[in-house]
Amino acid sequence: MSAARKAIFVVAGVGNGFGTGAASARAFAKAGYRVALIARNPESLANAAKGIQAQGGEAAAFPIKAYTHADVKAGFDEIKKYWPDGEIRVALWNAASFVRKEFLELTEEEIEESTQTNIIGAFAFSRQALLAFQDLELNDKGKRGSLLFTSATAAWRGNKATSAFASGKTGQRALAQSLNKEFGPKNIHVSNVIVDGLILTDRMSGLDAYKSLLEDENKRLSPESIANPLLEDENKRLSPESIANSYLYLVNQDRSAWTFELDLRPAHET
């Protein structure tokens, strides 16, 4: 990466600063990227940026009100203004709207939120990333940029109580497939990453609200029977840092053999 045009990593969806988005930000900062953090929680964004800066990395927070086309565009415009001598080389869509309810219990607002975040937001983010990539020179891997999506097994199949979430993730996966076909010949790498399992950090392992995620269909057993082993056994859950390293692996693939879809799961999955 030249000093004159330093590569920028943009991630949308940072959460509370302890999950996949924040871990990816730290990993790319360590790899020498400038890190642009986009999310709807200004406080979490600021804390994540400060954490990277404290470790000697370059990071800045760009909070937006919603994942609409206008707000996402405004976020990208601010990134370009903040680092006029940089170039956006990697963009990770990590934002998601998760709702687990029986179909007849879903509200119109919940369906709209899932659609807005998982599909429309992904469209808006992809558009700005691809516009940033398209005029760049090829890098040492033979590509102009990498667009990554954090996905889930729900993108492959629906199940009871997942109609809203699975519909959103299926749409997002179809978007990624379409972009891969359209922009691969333009030397832009698009990749969809299926994360099949529970992602836990030490901070979250004791939260009752987070334990409810064990009801996900991918666990295939009742929460009562698997809750303690999953929370206590690191081999049965995914590390955010390991997921982040997988994203780095994808970005470092050259165009002669790159991956569209990666399926990540813990070795001791139930």
In a domain, 143, yes or no: yes
Q: What amino acid is encoded at 251 in this protein?
A: V
Whether 217 and 116 share a structural domain: no
Co-location of 218 and 109 in the same domain? no
Same domain as 228, residue 96? no
pLDDT digits (tens, 9 = 90+) for 19-73: 999 999 999 999 999 999 999 999 989 999 999 999 999 999 999 999 999 999 9
Of 200, 231, 198, 213, the C-alpha closest to 162 is: 213
d(CA 257, CA 253) in angstroms, rounded, equals: 7
DSSP 8-state symbol, 137: P
Same domain? 71 vs 133: yes
| Coil vs helix vs strand at 16 | coil
As given in the structure block, the two tokens for residue 180 are 């891969």
Residue 1 belongs to a domain:
no
Same domain, 103 and 211: no
- State mean pLDDT over 213-217: 47
Q: Is residue 270 part of a domain?
A: no
Task: Check pLDDT > 70 for residue 223.
Answer: no
Same domain, 214 and 252: no
**Is residue 211 a part of any domain in this protein?**
yes
Q: Over 80: is that where the pLDDT of 212 sits?
A: no
- What are the backbone dihedrals phi and psi of residue 185, each rounded to the nearest 5 degrees, phi first? -65, -15
Neighbours of 155 (CB within 10 A): 23
Please, which pLDDT band fits residue 266 given cuts at 50, 70 and 90? confident
Domain limits for position 77: 6-197+239-264
Q: CA-CA distance, 179 to 187, in Å (whole number)? A: 12
Domain check: are 223 and 105 in the same one? no
**Mean pLDDT, rounded, for 70-92:** 98
Out of 37-46, 69-78, 103-112, 227-236, the most confident range is 69-78
33 shares a domain with 160:
yes
Residue type, 126: S
115 and 226 share a domain?
A: no
* Element spanning 73, H or E: helix 69-82
Number of domains in the chain: 2
Section 220-244 average pLDDT: 62
Q: Left if phi > 0, otherwise alpha if psi is -120 to 50, otherwise beta: which for 56?
A: left
Mean pLDDT, the chain, integer: 87
Do 169 and 208 fall into the same domain? no
Q: 133 Cβ partners below 8 Å, 6+ apart? A: 88, 89, 144, 145, 147, 183, 188
Taking the C-alpha atoms of residue 10 and residue 4, their distance in angstroms, rounded to an integer, is: 18
In a domain, 269, yes or no: no
In this prediction, residue 233 has a pLDDT band, given cuts at 50, 70 and 90, of low
CATH number, domain of 259, equals 3.40.50.720
pLDDT tens digit string along 138-187? 999 999 999 999 998 888 888 898 888 999 999 999 999 999 999 999 99
CB proximity list for 187: less than 8 A, separation 6 or greater: 138, 142, 143, 144, 255
Same domain, 77 and 211: no
Q: Are residues 156 and 225 in the same domain?
A: no
Q: Using only the alpha carbons of the chain, give its radius of gyration.
A: 18
For residues 68-83, average pLDDT: 98
